[in-house]
Amino acid sequence: MFLSLDVQVTADWWQREHRSYFLWEFGQLAELVLEIVSNTVGEEDGQKKHIYAQIRINYYVIYDPLRQVMADVLTVYRLRDFGYERQETA
């Protein structure tokens, strides 16, 4: 899931062609990416985290309710310089 603030969404956003977030259509990077873990093969704490840091997404959140890939249910990272720094969660 991507969270983007202050972007104009098309009126018919339920149509299939509007279900993806493309930077060139919205003109703004997402502020936050939320990954919901459903199995152990998604690379949420590996390749995906690296890609989102490269494209400069400010926050990367991994929600792992069954703790399949993370030690905690919720892991929050904040972009710092060229990589993510893990944040404390309450």
Taking the complete model, does pTM exceed 0.85, yes or no?
A: no
Model pLDDT for residues 3-45, shown as the tens digit of each residue? 777 777 777 767 776 666 666 677 778 899 999 998 888 888 8
Q: Write out the two tokens for 50.
A: 């690296």
Q: Which of 31, 27, 36, 20 is nearest to 75 (CA)?
A: 36
Say if CB 35 and CB 42 are below 8 A apart.
yes
Q: Which of 50, 8, 51, 4 is nearest to 31 (CA)?
A: 4
